[in-house]
Structure 1
């Protein structure tokens, strides 16, 4: 076992569910197995895009973010389904439960992927045996496929899990990098987006090997500290820990939505802003958090996108306040062009328990006027239990995630 578990090194897994949404739908309805499936936002509308697709659909050329009309042209027999995030959340929770039974050192990073540090799991067998056990359990108990990368750090484990899909188990050691990693195009490297790749291509860095051989000072001039970080990762250096508590770290909470049609209709715009404000307020409530900055995003009909923000003197969390500030920002910055997408993000977010309740005169007057009510509620809570009073418009569904990008629920597997 010593060769697999070095005394001074780490053994890290990256577990990545394969075609997660489509796989969950096929597990839920076995009649869909082996068929080209796509999950798409707003499949009835012209702006619907592919969120994910099964491998049978991918074989026909269907890709994530592809317009639905194009996907149907490539694959006329494509079965298109709306996202069911409650279903995906339930599957995600069970998957992370399986991982946490191996080690408590599990770091979820999204609904369908996470890291594990199994350095102290020698009594469970070799890393390959542990990976095979995880993969088989997820397949047998949840009827879902996954790929697992095994490496000495998180970055290499992430790259390894992408090398064989579906149902792959890939080991990526530092000595393997010249053959397995460096020949890849630089845009295939985790952490390199299209804009970064374009900048790197501009200095003749086209492969990861080119990145490794480029002077670090040139990279820092081009990309700042990220240039040095990318080179370190490419040569196999990534000291970042697997942090089970990272799921609680958040700096912003937001919501965005694409309109079914480009519009200049103010009634429709305000309706969408109201919905977005409600979503953000719901998520703040779920996290027991507040924020001090409001940012809006406006994407116009020609895909031109602007963001505008304002920092407030006090924290906010209320739907009406979020809507009012967002709408005011919009009115100040909209030029009248047709709009395709709107978004609201609350930034400078903090948990309520971590901040002092600083009351200005106005807030103090509001709180003081409710003091008698609060005392009455406290007495009733003492008599009948907590949460005696719930807002009339609240319901269980309010706490459900609305998109895959929300991370509010990634600790559910611990509950």
Structure 2
């Protein structure tokens, strides 16, 4: 079977479960199959939104993030199921256990998707045979459908898995990029949302092909380092490895500074924080991360040190957003005493390619308790574009708890 594998290079699969929450509900209760089904919040309070829905519901125009009352207008006989988080966690764990049978290199990306590096799994068959066997195993053992992309790197594998849903398997090679990927509008490229697509449009970059051939100078001037990274992706370049430990890492990026003298002037301290926010933002962008948790460190003249953190509902990377969160923390915790050292750290980092603020189990549960989830989604969509929300979950903390 080695003949089906490259001599130099990798074979990466991206496994993406189809309508995961809804599929889990149908597997649990087969009477729901072939019916329009939505997993959503509290429809009685008119605050519920559609987290995911079956393909039967989509035929009526029902979409993820749509308010339940609107979905009901489009499909009056729509079946609504409240989320069952334990059920989804268990199904996710079982899914990754099956994927682990095909490779030691499995990287969970969220509760319903992950990468496999099967380069050394040639004894199990060709890449296509392995993908078919995975799809069949997930269906037979868990009654859960998936789509799979096969490619030489993670970006192309992700693009491939999106091309045929449900139950699709797509092979995407680098030689296919010009024909298959380049004609697509930029908004359909993984890692680009409506907001970034709009910026690219002002530069007369409308297709992925346009982006692949765009000026480095122009991209960097308007999008910073991120612009050059997107151009690389558009050309099918992605050097990231499949990392089984990525989900469990406690990643952080921070900067601190010892002041030349103890300072108690608030405006000067805030200026220092602003400078630190710029530095953290630059480092995050360079590493390709966004942060969901901002922490500050304050060391006083007597060397007493405090650290305070703040979780962010939607991930941030821009200096102004980091500074705003740090400033709030500082003003709420600074006692007015002279300060010797200040620091800002971005924690709970996400790969920016997955920074669409996936509607994860944690944010869903907390938002449902603290505020109308639909209002939260409006803010996210307003800030990052209407394509920002996707079904599924960032499984980083879940992986620590469940030890997948």
Aligned: 1:213 with 2:213: yes
Match of 1:107 in 2: 107
Q: Hey, what's the Cα distance between the residues in 1 that align with 2:325 and 2:245?
A: 29
**2:316 counterpart of 1:309:** no
Residues 155 and 190 of structure 2 are in contact (CA less than 8 Å); yes or no, is this contact kept in structure 1? yes
User: 2:37 touches 2:56 (CA, 8 Å); kept in 1?
Assistant: yes
| Match in the other structure for 1:267 | none
Q: What's the CA shift for 1:409?
A: 1.9
CA distance in 2, matches of 1:198, 1:94: 40
Which residue of structure 1 aligns with residue 309 of structure 2?
A: 294
- 1:4 and 1:170 map into 2 onto residues whose CA distance is 16
Tell me the alpha carbon deviations over residues 252-286 of structure 1, each in whole angstroms, 9 at most, x when there is no partner: 8xxxxxxxxxxxxxxxxxxxxxxxxxxx9xxxxxx
TM-score normalised according to structure 1 size: 0.66
Whichever of the two has the greater Rg, that structure is 1
Corresponding residue of 1:410: 399
How big is each residue's C-alpha offset from its partner over 1:349-386, in whole Å with a ceiling of 9 and x where there is no partner? 49xxxxxxxxxxxxxxxxxxxxxxxxxxxxxxxxxxxx
1:134 and 1:215 map into 2 onto residues whose CA distance is: 41
Superposition pairs of residues 159-174 of structure 1, within 5 angstroms: 159-174=159-174
Unmatched 5+ stretches in structure 2: 253-292, 294-305, 315-320, 334-343, 349-361, 367-392
SS at match of 1:166: coil
Contact 1:41 1:49 in 2 (8 A): yes
> Are 2:98 and 1:94 equivalent residues in the alignment?
no
Tell me if 1:194 matches 2:183. Answer: no
1:229 equivalent in structure 2: 229
Task: Verify the 8 A CA contact 1:21 1:52 in the aligned structure 2.
Answer: yes
Pairwise CA RMSD of aligned residues? 3.0
Judge which range, 41-50 or 205-214, deviates more.
Answer: 41-50
Deviation at 1:202, TM superposition (A): 0.8
Q: Which residue of 2 aligns with 1:268?
A: none
Report the secondary structure of 1:409's partner residue: helix
Residue 326 of structure 1 deviates from its aligned partner by: 11
By how many angstroms is 1:217 displaced? 1.7
The structure-2 alpha-carbon separation of the partners of 1:63 and 1:172, relative to structure 1 and needing over 3 Å to count, comes to same
More displaced stretch, 52-61 vs 37-46? 37-46
Contact 2:43 2:69 in 1 (8 A): no
| 1:34 alignment counterpart | 34
CA contact (8 A) 2:108 2:395 kept: no
The answer to whether the Cα contact below 8 Å between 1:36 and 1:79 also exists between their aligned partners in 2 is yes
1:54 aligns to 2:54 (yes or no): yes
Match of 1:359 in 2: none
Unaligned runs of 5+ residues in structure 1 are: 253-279, 281-290, 300-305, 313-324, 330-345, 351-398
Once residues 70 and 16 of structure 1 are traced to their aligned partners in structure 2, the CA distance between those partners, rounded to angstroms, is: 27
Q: List aligned pairs for 1:12-411, cutoff 5 A.
A: 12-251=12-251, 292-295=307-310, 308-310=324-326, 328=332, 348-349=346-347, 402=365, 404-405=393-394, 407-410=396-399
- 8 Å CA contact 2:149, 2:162 repeated in 1: yes
SS of alignment partner, residue 201 of structure 1: helix
Q: Distance in 2 between matches of 1:108 and 1:298?
A: 21
* Shift of residue 184, structure 1, vs aligned partner: 1.0
CA distance in 1 between partners of 2:347 and 2:134 (Å): 36
Classify the secondary structure of the residue corresponding to 1:115: strand
Are the equivalent residues in 2 in contact too, given 1:293–1:311 (CA < 8 A)?
no
Mapped to 2, the partners of 1:162 and 1:189 lie a distance apart of: 10
Question: Paired residue for 1:356?
Answer: none
Distance 1:57 1:215, change over 3 A: same
**TM-score of the two chains, using structure 2 as the length reference:** 0.68
| Structure with higher RCO (Cα < 8 A, 6+ apart) | 2
Instruction: Give yes or no for contact 2:10–2:119 (8 Å, CA) kept in 1.
Output: yes
CA contact (8 A) 1:62 1:75 kept: yes
Contact 2:146/2:167, CA 8 A, preserved across alignment: yes
Take 1:328 and 1:220, find their aligned partners in 2: how far apart are those partners?
A: 36
Q: Could you tell me how far apart the structure 1 residues matched to 2:307 and 2:116 are?
A: 34
Q: CA 1:34–1:168 in 2, change beyond 3 Å: closer, same or farther? A: same
CA-CA distance at 1:45 after TM superposition: 1.7
Residue 347 of structure 1 and its aligned partner are, at CA, apart by: 6.0
Whole-angstrom CA distance in 2 between matches of 1:206 and 1:115: 29
CA pair 16-92 structure 1, distance change in 2 beyond 3 A = same
Q: Distance in 2 between matches of 1:6 and 1:163?
A: 23
Compared CA separation, residues 409 and 182, structure 1 to 2 (3 A): same
Cα distance between partner residues in 2 of 1:220 and 1:97:
42
SS of residue matched to 1:244: coil
Distance 1:409 1:201 in 2: 38
Offset, 1:112: 0.1
Ranges of 4+ aligned residues in structure 1 off by more than 3 Å:
295-299, 325-329, 346-350, 401-406, 411-415
Change in Cα spacing, 1:66 to 1:217, as seen in structure 2 (3 Å) is same
